Amino acid sequence: MSEQSQIRFEDGASYETYMGIWSRKVGEQFLDWLGAPPHLSWLDVGAGNGAFTALLAERVKPASILGVDPSPAQLDYARKRQDVGAARFEQGHAMELPAADATVDAAVMALVIAFVPDPAKGVAEMVRAVKPGGLVSAYMWDWPEGFPFYSVEQVIVGRGLPVVAPPSHEASRMRRMMELWQGAGLLEVASRAITVERTFPDFDSFWAIALTGPRMSAQAAGLSPEILETLRADLKALLGAEDGKPVTLKATANAVKGRVPG
Ligand SMILES: C[S@@+](CC[C@H](N)C(=O)[O-])C[C@H]1O[C@@H](n2cnc3c(N)ncnc32)[C@H](O)[C@@H]1O
């Protein structure tokens, strides 16, 4: 199996509007819950375009942040951000982190664990890189219902069209997350669900953003304008959206944390 998911994240700017905003909404509550002290060295696994990295820089007074991601396009965007402090970014993947054993204080995967080919190995890699007593944590949309664009998936499936799920989507479920963290030998393992809301100015702006997602943009390229219009109308009806009125959506992520023994 390839080390990177078949779902490609190749546009850092559109990712920001599509998912970065959502990620930070969850990330704010996640970091409050994590309660990490200041001045830690952080490993941000699957840092992507730096959406969550920026939150780390702003909120936890990090001593350092290393963001790791396989996507050159996402990293390119992350490196140009003005809001990530002194964070460094390296190309790499969760299955073989570019960090020596027991060298960082905290490792985190923000919206990543469902994309890694072998989640247990991904957690083991974070445990390997973190010092004894350090933190290993993650959050991921509760797939599929918790995903912010679940309604879009519903209308696609409703028309008999395929949707591609993240390769390890079962790792997004709370029970599985707990098993992964406990199975990796982590201590004080705890989890919680985090529900957030986002309001789009109107249905058209929501639809335009939905079309930029990594899976939807690939799929939409192969659909006729007529089918796309049908999906749009289905979605508008499903959401009960009215012309020119704001559209508010909810999404739920599962979060997990644990401490490296010693
Ligand atoms: C939904 S994005 C999350 C990005 C960012 N952490 C955030 O909170 O917005 C998922 C990221 O996981 C990355 N990814 C996919 N497969 C990976 C792997 N095997 N190891 C590390 N990152 C991976 C993708 O390139 C993408 O940037």
Would you state the pLDDT for residue 3?
A: 43
Would you state the pLDDT for residue 12?
A: 85
How far apart, in whole angstroms, are the C-alpha atoms of residue 116 and residue 93? 8
Would you state the pLDDT for residue 7?
A: 76
DSSP-derived secondary structure letter, 145? T
Answer whether 56 contacts ligand 1 (Cβ < 6 A). no
Q: Write down the pTM of the prediction.
A: 0.96
Asked whether residue 101 is domain-assigned, the answer is yes
Answer whether 65 contacts ligand 1 (Cβ < 6 A). no
Report which of residues 217 and 34 the model is more confident about.
Answer: 34
CA of 46 to the centre of ligand 1 (A): 4
To test the ligand 1 pocket, which listed residue (112, 121, 139) has its Cβ within 8 A of the most ligand atoms? 112
Asked whether residue 7 is domain-assigned, the answer is no
CA of 93 to the centre of ligand 1 (A): 9
Asked whether residue 6 is domain-assigned, the answer is no
Answer whether 123 contacts ligand 1 (Cβ < 6 A). no
| Confidence check: pLDDT of 4 > 60 | no
Answer whether 53 contacts ligand 1 (Cβ < 6 A). no
Q: How much of the chain, in percent, has pLDDT values that exceed 70?
A: 98
Taking the CA of residue 51 as reference, the ligand 1 atom at the shortest distance is 9
Asked whether residue 221 is domain-assigned, the answer is no
From atom 25 of ligand 1, which residue's Cα is the shortest distance away? Answer: 71
**135's tokens:** 């933190």
Asked whether residue 4 is domain-assigned, the answer is no
Would you state the pLDDT for residue 8?
A: 80
Asked whether residue 63 is domain-assigned, the answer is yes
Would you state the pLDDT for residue 187?
A: 98
Answer whether 92 contacts ligand 1 (Cβ < 6 A). no
Contacts of 61 (CB under 8 A, 6+ apart): 38, 39
Answer whether 78 contacts ligand 1 (Cβ < 6 A). no
Task: Place 5 in a pLDDT band, splitting at 50, 70 and 90.
Answer: low
Asked whether residue 110 is domain-assigned, the answer is yes
Answer whether 146 contacts ligand 1 (Cβ < 6 A). no
**202's tokens:** 């109107």
Which of 119, 101, 162, 156 minimizes the C-alpha distance to 256?
119
Number of domains forming the structure of the chain: 1
Task: Place 9 in a pLDDT band, splitting at 50, 70 and 90.
Answer: confident
CA of 164 to the centre of ligand 1 (A): 16
Strand partners of residue 253: 141, 194
Would you state the pLDDT for residue 87?
A: 98
Asked whether residue 211 is domain-assigned, the answer is no
CA of 242 to the centre of ligand 1 (A): 34
Would you state the pLDDT for residue 33?
A: 98
Task: Place 181 in a pLDDT band, splitting at 50, 70 and 90.
Answer: very high
Answer whether 77 contacts ligand 1 (Cβ < 6 A). no
Average pLDDT along the chain: 95
Average pLDDT over residues 50-55: 98
List the CATH number of the domain containing 128: 3.40.50.150
Residue 33 · residue 255 · CB < 8 Å: yes
Average pLDDT over residues 42-67: 98
248: phi then psi, degrees, rounded to nearest 5: -110, 130
Average pLDDT over residues 130-135: 98
Answer whether 108 contacts ligand 1 (Cβ < 6 A). no
How far apart, in whole angstroms, are the C-alpha atoms of residue 183 and residue 32? 25
Q: How much of the chain, in percent, has pLDDT values that exceed 90?
A: 91
Q: pLDDT tens digits for 192-249?
A: 999 999 999 999 999 999 999 988 888 888 999 999 999 999 999 999 999 999 999 9
Its domain, for residue 189, covers 12-147+166-197+251-259
| Confidence check: pLDDT of 16 > 70 | yes
The DSSP-derived string for 56-122 is: HHHHS--SEEEEEES-HHHHHHHHH-SSSTT-EEEE-BTTB-SS-TT-EEEEEEES-GGGSS-HHHH
3 state SS of 225? helix
Answer whether 66 contacts ligand 1 (Cβ < 6 A). no
To test the ligand 1 pocket, which listed residue (26, 52, 56, 115) has its Cβ within 8 A of the most ligand atoms? 115
Task: Place 172 in a pLDDT band, splitting at 50, 70 and 90.
Answer: very high
